Amino acid sequence: MIVMKFGGTSVQNTEMIDSAISIAENQLERSPLLVSSAMGKTTDKLVAIADAAVAGDSELAFSIYEDIKASHFLAINGFLSGENLQFATERAELLFEELASLVKGLSLLRECSPRSTDAILSFGELLSTTIISARARERGIETILLDSRKLVKTDDNFNAAVPIMDKTGELIRGAVNPMPNRLYVAQGFISTNMDGATTTLGRGGSDYTATIYGSSLDAEEVQIWTDVNGIMTSDPRIIPEAKTIANISYDEAAELAFFGAKVVHPSTIVPAVDRKIPVLVKSTKDPDGLYTTISPASGNTGLKAISTKKNITLIEIKTGRMVNAYGFLAKIFSIFEKHETSVDIVTTSEVSVSMTIENRSNIEAIIDDLNLFGQVSVEEDKNIICLVGQDLWQDSSVTSKLFQTLEGMPIRMISLGASRINLTLVVPETSCNDALKRIHAEFF
């Protein structure tokens, strides 16, 4: 069997939904399970509803609600008829009623917990899959609509839940019986905890859902259908001349995703690794065009791609006490642990430690605690530039070319990843795009 996941842009309107269904129809022999994101920017709009409700602006919340409702009914009335129209209309009406009462509740309380956010965000995928499954039936395809909330079980970490894989696998295998000429349709991104409360896998999490289904059903392949021709040498929105990478390893793809390449969710490859399931990244705008295969080993070394990550904060501690004295770093890191903040990059010298963090929500408390160990300085508005490729460091010409290319540019931190596949630079946000363009032009 195969799993095919379609992102928001790929199901944003009736034409795109029909293209997505055609891509699935062409592979019906391969027993497909289709995972879909919410249509277009629906999830962003649901976030805006929650924000408006918390701000006490229920008028705004309900105007966004009406906008979402109108676009979904436009699709429903656009290409459905008979019992398929009735099914989708009834289910969508029900979902919109539920959403309306949630929004009312939040507007009254003016509070939205992570738990309530997940409940609100889940409507995007519930609506899109209602429409897609009805349309697939309308086109004569035997279609079964699944409910990922009943099948994907997670911990209680609302907004970024982690699946409990053995339980999830059991449930999925119990509910899904893939066979040729049958199409299963499931929501990406959404799940429930062990108490049955709705959770989500984090923004962009539908990619992750796809490999969760794939590994549970031992898929021969997982296809991620998106709006670009696979994973490219850099974000094509910043570097228009970026090229498709034909083959990339699980580790390289994970590193790129973690350091900012939005094209796949950072956890996507985790479930694929054990069963060595190939993950293909393809374009719905160009279904027969270039694409990327992510697999256990790409077979080649050298620089593959460059990603960037914005809004990074750099924290430096200078101290007379020896940084290298044993236990010192452990004490520093325990502060970050206490404040539930993960550190991405670390460099040390005899007199200082520099670290980067992304999540600033507990920064005041972290600084207060770090002040006990030395002089703390904080620099905001930094970016990470991450060069990814197997055994990058073995070729010394890479590093020498890199630093020549960046001559005259300020670099605040450099780290060669222990995984041997990344070389990371921290630069001021203002020079990031320029640095990226120079590096891309030099190496690709």
Give the annotated binding-site residues for ATP. 5-8, 226-227, 237, 262-263
CB of 322 to ligand ADP, least distance (A): 41
CB of 187: closest distance to ligand ADP in angstroms? 14
- Cβ proximity to Mg ion: between 189 and 336 the closer is 189
Tokens of 4: 């095919």
The residue within the footprint of ligand ASP, chosen from 189, 213, 250, 259 (CB under 6 A), is 189
- For 271, list phi and psi in degrees, rounded to 5: -70, -20
DSSP state of 244: B
Q: Which of 17, 46, 99, 305 binds ligand ADP (CB under 6 A)?
A: 305
DSSP 444: -
The pair phi, psi for residue 157, each rounded to 5°, is -80, 75
Taking CB atoms, the residue at the shortest distance from ligand ADP is 7
224 vs 247: CA distance, rounded Å:
14
Which amino acid would we find at residue 423? L
* Residue 204 touches ligand ADP, criterion: CB under 6 A: yes
CB distance 68 to 121 below 8 Å: no
CA nearest to 336, candidates 370, 289, 387: 370
Amino acid at 176: V
Contacting ligand ADP within 7-46 (CB under 6 A):
7-10, 37
Site for ligand ASP in 35-74 (CB under 6 A): 37-38, 43
Pairing between strand 413-416 and 190-193? unpaired
- Would you count residue 388 as binding ligand ADP (CB under 6 A)? no
Q: Interface with ligand ASP includes 206 (CB under 6 A)?
A: yes
Q: Which of these ranges, 138-146, 211-219, 260-268, 417-425, lies near ligand ADP under the rule CB under 6 A?
A: 260-268
Q: Does 315 bind ligand ADP (CB under 6 A)?
A: no
Using rule CB under 6 A, residue 205 touches ligand ASP: yes
Distance between CA atoms of 413 and 155, rounded to whole angstroms? 35
> Measured at the alpha carbon of residue 275, what is the angle toward residues 248 and 145, in degrees to the nearest 5?
100
* Strand blocks (E) in 352-395: 352-357, 375-388
In the complex, the residues that contact ligand ADP under the rule CB under 6 A are 7-10, 37, 204, 226-228, 231-232, 234-237, 261-263, 305, 307
In the complex, the residues that contact Mg ion under the rule CB under 5 A are 7, 204
In the complex, the residues that contact ligand ASP under the rule CB under 6 A are 7-8, 37-38, 43, 124, 188-189, 203-206
